[in-house]
Amino acid sequence: MAARVPAAELNQHRSSPFAASHCHRPRACFPFLTPLSSLKPPSLLASSLSPLLLLVLAGDAAPQAPLRVASRTPRRTEESNRIICRAAEVQGAGGGARRRREPLRRGAVSARLPVPDHIPRPPYVGADAMPDVCPDRQVHDGESIMRMLDACELAARVLQYAGTLVKPAVTTDEIDRAVHQMIVDAGAYPSPLGYGGFPKSVCTSVNECTCHGIPDSRELQDGDIINIDVTVYLNGYHGDTSRTYFCGDVDEPTKQLVKVTEECMMRGISACRHGASFKDIGQRISEHASKYGYGIDPFVGHGVGRIFHCEPIIWSTYDYEPGFMVAGQTFTIEPTLSMGSTQCVLWDDGWTAVAADGSLSAQFEHTVLVTRDGVEILTGSP
């Protein structure tokens, strides 16, 4: 799941393949936000699910103290509704082989699923307030690396299974139930459940939903794409991974978006090694995305281990996170690419972020371990 840092102003610089963007919400709904112009990068963390939603820095400014996202959920404005309703029209215009589709509509959200009492919970469970993101950068010893590997291998198996469920007429709520059951059967806890009040065990982001989609009663349609984001908490450690899947017959432009997004993730991973700059990750991702004209959505990777979200922040864009990688560090790399605008609208559930112009988005994510010789993907295919 991603982390998010809210931006105080909505009139920031235009998004590009080289700059993180922001989500629009009514200005009156942001009384708790701190202007980013007064902050410095080392502590850019604020909580959220695997995609912490990072909103753009104003100009060249950078953050100086950890930001915390308040738990209040703003209402969606009339203008936001109109933006979302135009989604199908915008996406279909000038697309050639791109098919027309209906804009994403929310379905009914079922009750939170129970977790057996004997399964250990992460510390944030039971408090609906968004947890602060830890400023520490976790470095693991041999024993904790093995525990991380166990959690990540389980997350990879669960994600692989979830992908087999993606078919027309299947609901995202059904996927959530299956994922939840597989995780608890393994003696683990589904990390998103109860994180800052998140009501489900997995994130399911369909079509123009950029991130943090809440599973509900909507049925998947032929031609949809869906990102499934799985995080498990096993033996005191979190393993975090996601992938975008095709539902039925998907058109060629959409297939290319998904393919390039996965390539961007792998290019970012290839930059990792002991002593390398964190900036190298975003540079490689940005260079590849820009070749195809895709925008990079406002979501970032994050440190992960005993703590769900901690530093370092892993940007998918140029020139943000300072510092260098150290052998034994674990973090996620999770670029989100868009066919159109990288601006998004946050639904009034406080989580679901959708592209303001209805553009399709795709995302891939792995948890990686920095080694002396390079990098190891902990959530690789089982």
123 found inside a domain: no
Q: Across the beta sheet with 366-370, what order do the strands follow? A: 134-137, 310-314, 301-303, 330-333, 366-370, 375-377
Pairing of strands 310-314, 51-54: unpaired
In this prediction, residue 373 carries a pLDDT of: 92
309 annotated as ligand-binding: yes
In this prediction, residue 139 carries a pLDDT of: 92
Whether pLDDT at 279 is above 90 = yes
Peptide bond into 312 cis (omega under 30): yes
287 annotated as ligand-binding: no
CA distance 109 to 172: 10
120 found inside a domain: no
Q: How far is CA 21 from the centre of its chain?
A: 14
288 annotated as ligand-binding: no
In this prediction, residue 130 carries a pLDDT of: 87
Whether pLDDT at 74 is above 90 = no
Cα 365 to Cα 6, 71, 148, 177, 251, distances in angstroms:
22, 26, 16, 22, 23
State the distance between the two ends of the chain, measured CA to CA, in whole angstroms: 20
61 found inside a domain: no
Cα 112 to Cα 209, 229, 230, 346, distances in angstroms:
21, 17, 16, 22
240 annotated as ligand-binding: yes
| Six token digits for residue 321 | 């996170």
**pLDDT-based confidence at residue 36 (cuts at 50, 70, 90):** very low
148 found inside a domain: yes
In this prediction, residue 34 carries a pLDDT of: 25
| Six token digits for residue 309 | 């979200």
Count other C-beta atoms under 10 Å from residue 293's C-beta.
Answer: 10
Segment 137-179, tens digit of pLDDT:
989 999 999 999 999 999 999 999 999 999 999 999 999 999 9
In this prediction, residue 128 carries a pLDDT of: 78
269 found inside a domain: yes
In this prediction, residues 16-43 reach a mean pLDDT of 31
Look up the CATH number of the domain holding residue 316: 3.90.230.10
173 annotated as ligand-binding: no
Segment 299-335, tens digit of pLDDT:
899 999 999 999 999 999 986 667 899 999 999 999 9
219 found inside a domain: yes
108 found inside a domain: no
Residue among 155, 145, 41 at smallest CA distance from 372: 145
Per the structure, the count of domains in the chain is: 1
Range of the domain at 225: 139-377
79 found inside a domain: no
Angle between helices 252-270 and 279-291 (to 10 degrees): 150
